[in-house]
Structure 1
Amino acid sequence: MPPPDPRYPRRESAPPSTTPPPDSGDWLRPWAQMKYFSFNPAVYPNMIRAVSPDAGPGDLVNVYDKEGQLFGSGFFNPKARVPLRVIQHGEDVLTEDALDARVDAALDLRLKTLRLNETSEAWRAVHSDGDGLSGLIVDRYADVLSIEVTTLGVWRRLRRWLPKLHAALGTSQHLIEVDPDIARIENMRWSDVPEADDPAPRGVRVRENNVRYQVSFEDGHKTGFFCDQRDNRLKFAHLARGRRVLDLCSYTGGFALSAKVLGGCEDVTGVDLDEKAIAQAKKNADLNQTRIDWVHADTFTWGRQMQQNGALWDAIVLDPPKLVFSRDPEEGQLGRNKYYDMNAVALGLLRRGGLFVTCSCSGLLDVAEFEEIVMRAAHRNKRRLQIIDRTGAGADHPIMSNCPEGRYLKVLWCLAW
């Protein structure tokens, strides 16, 4: 049976030239030359002037600017949608040993600087471009590493890095996730990476700030759990202490459980459309020997019904899944409209002066536009927002200054009057 058509068809473009430019005889091979100056790690086909004939898929290449000066180093893959990913800028040559040292540096940040082991068994160990390792995401869940790979350059080196990751983190099992479309485009072969010594579990129990969770690798989104909201869950628990709490788009109950277990909130409700997520949330509540009112329902429909019933809460957190998927104006506007409607419904369920925490994980929606959508939703409902904080992902999700799109998670903290 032929493979299914990819969800994201490739755009055909002319390949870079393999004819060496003048004065390139002294260039360090393999190399790629850029047409335009850009510090962003993603270099698209129309930005590449030429590559050396010996530059192969997954190779670490030396990158030269249009003037022929050494500009940096990066992963090359001629068949990829982004054929060149520059992971170092400057005139220093990036060796394989230096690349391995980046893995060590990422782990040192979490273990020695942030000391995440002291508060959680679930955190991000490697954050792709944020750690200068474009295409590699590693989440640590107790004894298990959940790994997501999106570039061939990382894929070819994963066999070398896995023992290093396990040794530093004290883990023994791993799962590797690759989107089938990306695997096809990047030409990733499973024979290039080792299988785990023992079959990885379908789930694992972890503790975060004294709250216990069961992470499902079969039914969970992304790498199994949203580590990026760890600090925000703790903050919400403190601010919502003792209040009547509503967790909209609750997934497996992170905010609801934090409010209940850490914030001492007696009346907590969690709402989500995903039946499997609600089932997992119930298991998480059982793990913590506590009771939460879980509702399997669509946020819009249920929220409007609660408005008609006159129900009100003292603290509401709204953390929907990604809603803006495309740069296409029409498709993007559909997602923006959903954010507006969701926030309008949520604010209609909040008491005057209540705590409102609203989130967006859509990387294509910037901070200013997200806040403008939330404010419009509030003003349309004749509410004013007293903004008390703006946060994002935890420090284990660092952002490089040359890759600001890495700031995908936006959290707005308000009192709604």
Structure 2
Amino acid sequence: MIDVILKKGKEKAVLHRHPWVFSGAIENIKGKPANGDIVRLMDAKGGFMAYGFYNDQSRVALRLLEWDEAVAVDEQWFRAKVGIAVASRSSILADGLTNTCRLIFSESDFLPGLIVDKYAGHLAVQVLTSGIEKLLPVIIDELQLLLKPESIFDKSDASSRSHEGLETINTALTLSHPPERVEVKENGITYNINIAEGQKSGFYCDQRENRKILAAHAKGKKVLDCFSYTGGFTLNCLQNGATSVATVDSSALAVETLKENIILNKFDETKVTPIVSDVNKQLRKFRDEGETFDIVVLDPPKYAPSRSALDKASRAYKDLNRMGMLLLNPGGLLATFSCSGAMDMETFKQVLAWAALDAGKQVQFIYQFCQPEDHPVRSSFPEGEYLKGLLCRVV
């Protein structure tokens, strides 16, 4: 195993079990490891620190795996980590009301660059690091042994793969290919999803608990669901007695799937107004028409992919939420989210305060949304906390 020598003074993060070592923190490499190889990280005095995946094309040159020198990071090590992650999700699926969740969440489950989502009897896999790419046959074999899925589909089409020198992939990993529509259940609601063509790995299961929490406020209310995708918040609000829901998404395919999901659950189609439109344009149209709502949901895509984009993203979040506030009836609820890891909760609250000031509104924060238990945040890796949200009463 090749040794990678850390620069003097760069030990703190490694000692605190943070799994990333940036290329600028490396002093020397005793050999020529291939990208994706497991190497041994040593301190400047030659003392062992950790084992990790190496990649010279990424700013994160090492993704650390194991801090105990006596533990062999071999095939069985990876199989064990997969098994632990899968077993920890069993309670989510126990009541039969939900059969979809995230089984493996990358660094947070000690498998950097591996995401696995379960959709009923099918699995979707995303591989984001060269190390996991090399070990994928072992991981797929273990998933098959543990779960016996009907199919496993590789959705490794994220642009971030280019940072590791990897090409995008979108293909079945088993002889069976997932059907065009897979029927899944979440919170007792049924969804048709397209694993191969859908966004992310096919469905946004990270909002499972937040949908249920918001829907508890929806009885008898007029709801606006923005960036609705295939209708997670819409369907939960209908299930809990919303009188009407206007849904807005720029994807015609997503809106068509939402319509199918309304029919699939036998909800009253006349209560839903599906709109294919840019959300910001549609919010201004509603304002100009004097349209108002009791609940507004804003669940936009990632505005801040990095800290360098945070200022620009903050302005976008502020403008979006200002418009949402202007469309609320007095005492109405704004459920607003950010999936940008660079946007921390305190900054998000400040952005909401600016939006309220510009809108001439007073805002009470009455609940903080977060990601569910199948998207855990490892204590030594706070970067795993990306989804945050606020339920606001606007007066």
* Residue 401 of structure 1: how far off its partner (Å): 1.6
Q: How does 1:51-66 map to 2 (within 5 A)?
A: 51-53=29-31, 55-66=33-44
Q: Larger deviation: 358-367 or 124-133?
A: 358-367
1:194–1:140 distance in 2 versus 1, CA, 3 Å: closer
Return the alpha-carbon distance in structure 2 between the equivalents of residues 354 and 212 of structure 1. Answer: 28
Return the alpha-carbon distance in structure 1 between the equivalents of residues 159 and 261 of structure 2. Answer: 33
- RMSD, matched Cα: 2.2
Extract unaligned runs of 5+ from structure 2: none
**Pick aligned residue for 2:153 from 175, 178, 200:** 175
* Residue 80 of structure 1: how far off its partner (Å): 3.3
2:231 aligned residue: 253
Q: How does 1:22-37 map to 2 (within 5 A)?
A: 29-35=1-7, 36-37=10-11
TM-score, scaled relative to structure 2:
0.91
**Pick aligned residue for 2:77 from 84, 98, 106:** 98
* Residue 115 of structure 1: how far off its partner (Å): 4.4
| Corresponding residue SS for 1:356 | strand
Q: How does 1:4-403 map to 2 (within 5 A)?
A: 29-35=1-7, 36-37=10-11, 38-39=13-14, 40-53=18-31, 55-96=33-74, 97-111=76-90, 113-115=91-93, 118-179=96-157, 186-188=164-166, 195-261=173-239, 263-290=240-267, 291=269, 292-328=272-308, 331-403=309-381
Write the letter of the residue equivalent to 1:59.
Answer: D
Write the letter of the residue equivalent to 1:174.
Answer: I
Q: Larger deviation: 127-136 or 57-66?
A: 57-66
* Residue 129 of structure 1: how far off its partner (Å): 0.6
| Corresponding residue SS for 2:307 | coil
1:182–1:366 distance in 2 versus 1, CA, 3 Å: closer
Write the letter of the residue equivalent to 2:278.
Answer: D
Return the alpha-carbon distance in structure 2 between the equivalents of residues 194 and 294 of structure 1. Answer: 32
Return the alpha-carbon distance in structure 2 between the equivalents of residues 200 and 218 of structure 1. Answer: 8
**Pick aligned residue for 1:411 from 369, 386, 389:** 389
Instruction: Report if aligned partners of 2:156, 2:168 keep a CA contact under 8 Å in 1.
Output: no
Return the alpha-carbon distance in structure 2 between the equivalents of residues 116 and 349 of structure 1. Answer: 40
Instruction: Report if aligned partners of 1:388, 1:414 keep a CA contact under 8 Å in 2.
Output: yes
Return the alpha-carbon distance in structure 1 between the equivalents of residues 302 and 49 of structure 2. Answer: 35
Return the alpha-carbon distance in structure 2 between the equivalents of residues 73 and 242 of structure 1. Answer: 56
Extract unaligned runs of 5+ from structure 1: 1-28
Identity %: 32
* Residue 314 of structure 1: how far off its partner (Å): 1.1
1:397–1:287 distance in 2 versus 1, CA, 3 Å: same
Return the alpha-carbon distance in structure 2 between the equivalents of residues 180 and 357 of structure 1. Answer: 28
Return the alpha-carbon distance in structure 1 between the equivalents of residues 165 and 366 of structure 2. Answer: 47
Write the letter of the residue equivalent to 2:244.
Answer: D
1:120-161, CA deviations, whole angstroms, 9 ceiling, x for partnerless residues?
A: 111000000110100000010011111110111111111111
Q: Larger deviation: 226-235 or 284-293?
A: 284-293
Q: What count of residue pairs does the alignment treat as equivalent?
A: 384
| Corresponding residue SS for 2:60 | coil
* Residue 65 of structure 1: how far off its partner (Å): 2.2
Off by >4 Å, runs of 4+ in structure 1? 113-117, 180-185, 187-191
TM-score, scaled relative to structure 1:
0.86
| Corresponding residue SS for 1:398 | coil
Write the letter of the residue equivalent to 1:289.
Answer: K
Return the alpha-carbon distance in structure 1 between the equivalents of residues 277 and 159 of structure 2. Answer: 31
Q: Larger deviation: 31-40 or 375-384?
A: 31-40
Write the letter of the residue equivalent to 1:33.
Answer: I
